[in-house]
Amino acid sequence: MIYFDAMSKACEKVGLTFDENKYNKFIKYKEMIQEWNKKINLTAITDDSEIIQKHFIDSIKSFNFKFLKDAKNIIDVGTGAGFPGIPIKIVNSGKEVVLLDSLNKRINFLNEVINELDLKDIKAIHGRAEDFAKDKEYREKFDIATSRAVANMTVLSEFCMPYVKVGGYFLALKGPSIEQELKDSKNAIGTLGGRIQEVIKVDMEDSEMNHNLVIIKKMKSTDIKYPRKAGMVTKKPLK
């Protein structure tokens, strides 16, 4: 149980409990990532300790945003190999989680993880963020939409904000340099019905890594014309 203490400490710092059962799920998850990564491109990070630190603990740090612990349901947009959605579910199993990704091969992987880890009230769905955001079953239905996708805040906000109910939050996991990106996205976030509430700086123990949790509060309903059609969101970002 070489990584147990590090993961336990990360959970303790954000007010969560950690035990051997959760640890074993993470280890199984790590092994599945490494095995599937030989067949499909899930992540460039394949080393044991780096998966634990840069994917698992990094995702657990999302709980530095205190409301996440109380949220009843979340959607992880552009989840990829399941980050941060699956680690969030493992350490805080009471919430409903939807994992959304546009690549069916990744959905197949995520479904296998869900089955192998015996996770309940979590599903992986295949599709584009801009399409499912028009679906009444998903639009403005979530306490939190989260994303660790590699896109700027203007683009991410148009993909994610339509999923958030009024009074809920968009939680974006971003890198260390965020000031200009936030400045550039402020008007777009307002157009989508949101307001930048806070930026939480996150340091990683035993590492020089750090990042930011950007918290956007949903103040009013998002106009039905957003998100725009496929391609428009990235080609012509909102101003």
Q: How many helices (H) and strands (E) does the chain have?
A: 11, 7
Please provide the average confidence, as pLDDT, over all residues in the chain: 95
Q: Name the amino acid, one letter, at 8.
A: S
pLDDT at 150: 81
Give residue 215's identity as a one-letter amino acid code.
I
HSE-up of residue 149 (Cα within 13 Å, Cβ side): 25
- What one-character DSSP code corresponds to residue 137? T
Q: Does residue 204 surpass a pLDDT of 80?
A: no
The pTM assigned to this predicted structure is 0.96
* pLDDT of 230 above 80: no
pLDDT exceeds 80 at position 207: no
Q: What is the pLDDT of residues 81-132, one digit of tens each?
A: 999 999 999 999 999 999 999 999 999 999 999 999 999 999 999 999 999 9
List, for residues 52-90, the tens digit of each pLDDT value: 999 999 999 999 999 999 999 999 999 999 999 999 999
What is each CA distance from 221 to 65, 70, 100, 206, in whole angstroms?
22, 22, 21, 42
Residue 46 sits in a domain whose CATH number is 3.40.50.150
Domain that holds residue 131: 4-235
Give me the number of domains the chain comprises: 1
Q: Please tell me the distance from the alpha carbon of residue 163 to that of residue 138, in angstroms, as a whole number.
A: 6
